[in-house]
Every structure is written in C-alpha cells, then in structure tokens.
Chain A
Amino acid sequence: MGDVMTHDTIHFVENLQKILTSPLCLQENSGYLDLSCCKDIKEEELYKQAGNLPQYDPITEALALILETMEKGPFELTRLGINELLKSYLIQVQPDNEEPCTKCYFECIYQTYLFSLLDIYPYTDLFWEYISTCFDTISKYLIMHKLNKGCQVFLDKISIMGKLSAQKGLHTSSIQHFLHNMESWAREEGFDELADNAKNNRFNLEAF
C-alpha cells in the first residue's frame, strides 16, 4: 500500500492475484489476543501476549485495493477486483473450511457493498447489478460441489444485502432470480433445508 494507484488493468489484476495466492488466515488461536473473542483474561496472559502480532491477511490487503478503486478509479477496475476476489474465494473454499472461509470473504464483499451505497459513489446500480449476477454462478458452484454449509453462510449474507438494497430502491430482480435458481438447484441436489431458506429469504426480501 501507499504507492500510487495504477490504472493498468493487467497490472492491477496481476497484483491482486499475487496477493490472493497467499494462504488465508482462518485459525482463531493464532496467538494474537482479540478482546471480543475471550470473555475473561488473566493479567499474566495479557502481558504475555502483548507483543504478539496478528497473522498476515491477504484478503484485507485485496479489499483495501478494491476500495481504493471504488474511491478513485473507473468502475472497470472495481469490477475486475471483485471478480478476482470471488474467483479466489471459489479456489480457496474447501469442505474443511467452508464456513470460516465464506464468512471471511463475504465480510469483504459486504464492506465493498456498504461503500457502494454511499451517496458519493456514482456507480451504485452498476456495482449492485454486477455482484448480483456473480452470485448466481457462485451459488451454483457451491451447490454442485456440495458445500452446503458454506452456501448457507453465503445465503445469509446475500439476503442482508438484498434486503438493504430493496430498502434503498435498488432493483432486486436479479437477486430474486438468483434465490429462485438457488432454490431449484439446492432441491435437486437434496439440500432441502437450504432450498427452504432460499425460498424464505425470497419471500422476505421486500417485506419491510
């Protein structure tokens, strides 16, 4: 960080890909003390862990780059950034890490989404339309690879975004469509609970 933002799409994507190939930090007990995660701490523990550093998180760095493009750059760079992030998610998500991995990636997507809702952000519609069409592909991939727990986390996050969008007056037809497709795919693959959740979310999308 700190360098001048590049507008070269190839360079930008290369840079992102390089960052996103580093291993994720998903383990809870990395030695770094997080006050929100432990209820009571002993004094000696506090002193002992005072110098510990958090793990390197490639996603945060990628997120910072994407947010920077949203602030300054053309929409194309943001689009590529989001695409890279989501692709790297599909590469990283595995049956043994599906829940934390999904959570971690979609926290980032959610942050970019929140940024896109700002009044000063001019491409809100483009951004929303783009990510909602990506969701369709992601959900299909997750269901076909039987990552239903990850898909549940994904669904929860998406429905929060969908609901917020409906309140802000953004079009939700692609989200409705996505939820409907997801329901049919999940039902075909035998994930009835996931299908029911998708249906429930679809019915509640615009109920406010």
Chain B
Amino acid sequence: MINSSSYVFIILSIATGLLTLLSSVGIFISLIIQRRVDRLQEILEEFINLSYRNETNLTGLMYNLIEKYQMHYIFPQKPLKLITQYIDCSIFFVSLLWAGSLLANYQPPFSPWLFIQIFPLIIGIFTSFFFRILLRDTINQENPLLETIVPAPTKLRSISYLSHFINVSVKSILQQARLSLHLSWEKDEQNKKKINVLLKQELSFDDFFYFLLLSYEEKPCFVSFGELHFRFPPDHITGKPVPAQRNINIPLGHFHFNDLPEKLTAEFLVFTQGEKYPVQYNYQLTQGTNFLSSQSNPQVNVNHQIVYTFAKKKIKILSCEANIPFLKEFNPFFYLNGERYYINTLEHMAPDNLQLRTCTEEIFID
C-alpha cells in the first residue's frame, strides 16, 4: 500500500509529466508546421515571380507549381489522426487525475466554498481544451490560423485572390490561361440552327467576372456575362485532390442564326477584385468547317476607359467611356453569384422585359 497522503502528490506529478509530454508534442508539431509553411511560401513566391515574366510560355510550369504546392499542403491523414488521438487521451487523463486528486481530499460536509475550490480545476480543463483546438487547427488543412500566410491550393487559381492580395499583373496571369472562344454550330430540337458559345481555358483560372459581346457586322447578336467559379471534386478513382485543370471548356450559352456567319467579332471583358480597370480581349472569329474560332492571338489590353468597383456581391460600373454596347444597360444584372447569364434575343429586346437566361450546362474538359 502507498501512503494515501503522498499518493495524491504522486498522481499530481504524473499529471504534470503528461502535460510536459503534451507540450513537447506541441513543439514538435510547430516545428513540422514551420517547415511546411516555409516550403509552401517558397513555392508561392516562385509562382508569383513567374507571373511577371509574361513573354514566355509558363502554362506548364504554373500547373506543375500548383500541383507541387498541393502536395506539400496536405498532411498525411494517418499521423494526423494519431496526433489528435494522443492529444485527446492526454487531456482526458490529466483531467481525470486532477478531479480524482481533488475528490480524494474531499471532506464532508458540503459547503458553497467547494465551488470556489474547484474553480481552478475547471479553468485547467478549459485551457487544455483550448490548447487542443489550437493544435488541431494547426495541423488541419484549411484553418483560419494559417490561411493568410499559406492559402489553400485552390486559391492559386483564383484571379481575384492573386490580384487582390498579392498584386500580380492580371493580364500576364490571364495570358497563361490562354482564353479563347469557340463557336460550334448545330441544329436544335425544333430543327432551328443554333450556335453554341464556348470559352476555352488552357489552365483553369477562375474567380472573375466576365462580359462577352459577339457582333456580326457591327450588330450585336449575343451577350453573356457572369461570374466564373470552378469546383473540381477529387479524382473519383485515385482520390487525389484537383487544385487546377487543363483544357477547360465553359459553355456560355447559345443563340440562333440563319447560317454560320463567316466572320464575327467578339469583345471579352474580365473584371477582377482588387483592380479597377477591366482587361479587354478582342477576338476576330473566322470560320472553320462547322465552327468559328479565332485564328490569331487575340488583342489583350487593359481598358482604361471603364472604371468599376465591387459592391455588395455585385459589380458597379462607375464610368464607361468605351463604346461597348449593352455594357451599361446590363450593369444592374452583374451579380457575383457564380451564375452565367446570357441574352440571345437582342433584336426584340425591351428594357422592361429582359429575357435573361441562365446557362446550366456543366463545365467540361476537352
């Protein structure tokens, strides 16, 4: 038998020992996290530096960097669980020992003093739980604690994030995405001829607002606008996360036309958070066999004649001196809700009876 008065001290020193071990686990975790943050920030910096070199083709490099970032970003699941279990067990056991030692010294009768006496115990248990939450958050991905210094890999494809927080040139980033338009021609159910409009991206950059105007012989025939947001679920076979994709096709809507026109001009504006002038693409679409696409590289420039701002989940155009039809008229509908809208009946359009359609076709890879 162990002397009961010294037993309490032994129990308490065991509890102290457990807490010391727990804190050394905390130090161990912070060392790992530090290394990981270092690596991630290095890759991030490399990525940002790349975006300043717009004269070369960096699409492949950028894609590889995003993949690399993703690789360092994820913690392996098994040790993660083990560490959380260890923290949980230690805290539970320490609390038990504290409570036990108090109970062993409890002498009836009951008095209100007891509440004040067990108050330190309650504080101790609370603090350990906070410590647990902190540690768990540190090792878990996508936590608010580290998000500002190491963003989630999906943020690397977000133009708004890149331009808003890191201030890179939107134009040179978009240049690597190589946006292009592809119009294909088919017959619909009622045997009417319709032209499907597709936006192609070679590297998936999202989180921006676009406005597209197609005109045939200076007459507008199709308008589409909306916000682009991609959701790439993890690969259903390998289970790997997909931070970015290649060869993305985004359906923007369709319109009816008597015949496949030989030539179309397109104006495509990109609005991003953190900028005030949109980037403008001018495409000259020419005919292939039963499709239209731009044969040469589009003209890309920042349009200083348009000033916009982001306000309450909407884009507000502050001033517009550029001669782009319908941009001002449709401005009240520039919602930032991830939807793609289009209007294909521009000729008989009355301002009070606007036939705004939503493009529900899924984004696909081809």
Contacts and interface: CB of A to CB of B under 8 A. Distances in A.
Interface of A: 136, 165-167, 169-174, 176-177, 180-181, 184-185, 188, 199, 202-203, 206-208
B63 interface: yes
Name, among A171, A174, A185, the residue most crowded by chain B CB atoms within 10 Å (CB to CB).
A171
A165 B64 CA distance: 17
Interface residues of B, number: 21
A184 B188 CA distance: 20
Contact of A206 (B56, B59, B180, B293): B59
B57 A202 contact: no
16 contacts: A165-B57, A166-B59, A167-B60, A169-B56, A169-B58, A171-B57, A172-B57, A172-B59, A173-B180, A174-B297, A176-B178, A176-B202, A177-B293, A181-B288, A206-B63, A207-B60
B36 interface: no
Shortest beta-carbon contacts, A-B, top 8: A206-B60, A169-B56, A171-B57, A173-B178, A169-B57, A206-B59, A166-B60, A188-B289
B247 interface: yes
Contacts of B64: 208
B247 A202 contact: yes
Contacts of A167: 60
Interface of B: 56-60, 63-64, 178, 180, 182, 202, 246-247, 288-291, 293, 295, 297, 366
Contacts of A173: 57, 178, 180, 202, 297
B60 A208 contact: yes
Contacts of B56: 169-171
A107 B57 CA distance: 25
Contacts of A184: 288-289, 291
Contacts of A177: 180, 293, 295
Contacts of A136: 295
A192 to B, nearest CB: 15
A93 to B, nearest CB: 21
B293 A181 contact: yes
